[in-house]
């Protein structure tokens, strides 16, 4: 109603002003008496109120829409009132929705083409890397071979990260929820990085009871573990002695913490570590940081129904905790 009155206030003002001027003129010219003036005012005001009420009734849905705004895409198909103004605006909204749908389809087509290209490219790159790894086995033990193997492993992890990033949007089509033994999964992740542990001179310490089971996707959750372990080792090299991975039950959830004794994260960066492409002070100082590892880990945790949080103290270390529901909680 407020919007309706604002929209018609100029019309109401002009109507009343012209009515007042006409009555004043007729009264001065002695065409009408004082009693007739009151009658004319009441009668014309009644006519004005009836007209405004009819006009409001004709456009009430339109004014309601303009006041509340659009809350979802389906609001574009609301059936407005029968007036020409309401029908024209309704037609414009539907036309705009059709344009929007067309643009969305174009964007989806480009995205799907990009996703297909990334997946094919990653698989094509993995083939020559596998060949290189097989050839390196002939030179096992040699210093140069170990150095090349380390770089090949970095390439493999980088390709896996690119593929996982490309698949985040289609996550719902690429996960299987199952009850998994958390300790076994963590030990598998630690064993895969044993060479990096040795090179970094850091000892892994796993404190997880074998009875702890969680509902998650093995492949995706292992990717999260890999990222957290690699980050812990990267920023603890030549400083920390242990990387502690422990889990425990806390009420209705399981908490898994990866604790390092590294350089820590500055307080000004701690709130942004999960932002895409954010490398922060440590990333610039140590290099080889894409700023995507923790971002993808956070997105995976959200899709799995887990929570991830991080605490850190400069020159003391970092604690990354993943909270998982004991019951099925995958979104």
Last residue of a domain, one of 151, 169, 187: 169
Q: So what's the pLDDT on residue 307?
A: 94
Is 160 part of a structural domain of the chain?
Answer: yes
Identify the domain boundary among 51, 80, 99. Answer: 99
Asked if residue 318 and residue 186 are part of one domain, the reply reads yes
The reply to whether 104 falls in a domain is no
Dihedral sign, Cα of residue 243, residue 201, residue 231, residue 269 = positive
Residues 74 and 147 grouped into a single domain: no
pLDDT in tens, 303-329: 999 999 999 999 899 999 999 987 665
Domain region containing 242: 179-325
Query: 48-57 long-range CB contacts below 8 Å, 24 or more apart?
Result: 48/12, 48/15, 48/16, 52/8, 52/12, 55/8, 56/1, 56/4, 57/81
281 and 263 fall within a common domain: yes
**CA 54 – CA 56 distance, rounded (Å):** 5
In a domain, 124, yes or no: yes
Q: Does residue 37 form part of some domain?
A: yes
In this structure, the answer to whether residues 321 and 244 fall within a common structural domain is yes
Q: Are residues 132 and 164 in the same domain?
A: yes
Residue 331 maps to a domain: no
Do 230 and 298 fall into the same domain? yes
Pair 230, 285 in one domain: yes
Domain limit, last residue, from 118, 151, 169? 169
DSSP, collapsed to helix, strand or coil, labels residue 11 as helix
Query: If you search the block for the tokens 């001179």, which residue do you land on?
Result: 201
Say yes or no: 25 and 120 in one domain.
Answer: no
What's the pLDDT score for residue 76?
Answer: 66
Q: Is residue 174 part of a domain?
A: no
pLDDT at 184: 94
Domain match, 255 and 153 both: no
Judgement on whether residues 114 and 29 belong to the same structural domain of the protein: no
Residue 181 has a pLDDT of: 93
125 and 242 in a common domain: no
Q: Based on the domain organization, do 153 and 76 belong to the same domain?
A: no
| Structural domains counted in the chain | 3
Compute the Cα dihedral for 270, 273, 275, 281 and give only its sign: positive
Asked if residue 330 belongs to a domain, the reply is no
Are the CB atoms for 116 and 166 separated by under 8 Å? no
- Per-residue pLDDT tens, the chain, 331 aa: give them: 666 677 677 877 888 888 888 888 787 777 777 777 788 888 888 888 887 887 777 777 777 777 776 767 666 666 666 676 777 777 777 888 888 888 989 988 887 888 788 878 887 887 888 888 888 877 776 777 778 887 888 888 888 888 888 777 777 777 888 999 999 999 999 998 988 898 889 999 999 999 999 999 999 999 999 999 998 998 888 788 899 999 999 888 999 999 999 999 998 889 899 998 888 777 777 666 777 889 999 999 999 999 999 999 998 999 999 999 876 655 4
């Amino acid at each position: 109603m407020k919007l309706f009155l604002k929209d018609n206030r100029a019309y109401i003002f002009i109507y009343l002003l012209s009515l007042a001027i006409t009555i004043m003129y007729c009264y001065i010219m002695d065409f009408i008496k004082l009693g007739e003036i009151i009658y004319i005012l009441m009668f014309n005001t009644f006519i004005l109120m009836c007209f405004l009420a009819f006009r409001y009734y004709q456009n009430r849905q339109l004014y309601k829409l303009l006041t509340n705004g659009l809350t979802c895409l389906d609001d574009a198909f609301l059936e407005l009132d029968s007036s020409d103004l309401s029908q024209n605006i309704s037609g414009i909204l539907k036309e705009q929705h059709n344009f929007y749908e067309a643009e969305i389809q174009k964007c989806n087509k480009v995205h799907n083409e990009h996703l297909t290209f990334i997946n094919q490219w990653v698989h094509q790159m993995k083939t020559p890397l596998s060949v290189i790894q097989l050839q390196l086995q002939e030179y096992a033990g040699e210093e140069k071979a170990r150095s090349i193997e380390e770089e090949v492993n970095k390439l493999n992890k980088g390709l896996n990260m690119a593929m996982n990033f490309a698949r985040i949007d289609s996550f719902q089509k690429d996960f299987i929820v199952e009850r998994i033994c958390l300790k076994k999964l963590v030990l598998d992740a630690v064993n895969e990085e044993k060479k990096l542990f040795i090179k970094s001179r850091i000892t892994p310490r796993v404190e997880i009871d074998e009875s702890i089971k969680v509902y998650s996707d093995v492949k995706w959750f292992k990717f999260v573990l890999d990222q957290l372990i690699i980050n812990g080792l990267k920023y603890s090299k030549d400083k920390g002695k242990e990387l502690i991975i422990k889990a425990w039950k806390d009420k209705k959830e399981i908490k898994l913490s990866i604790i390092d004794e590294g350089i820590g994260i500055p307080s000004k960066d701690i709130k942004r570590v999960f932002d895409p492409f954010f490398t922060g002070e440590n990333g610039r100082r140590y290099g080889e940081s894409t700023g995507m590892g923790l971002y993808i880990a956070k997105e995976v945790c959200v899709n799995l129904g887990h929570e991830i949080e991080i605490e850190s103290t400069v020159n003391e270390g970092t604690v990354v905790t993943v909270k998982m529901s004991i019951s099925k909680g995958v979104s």
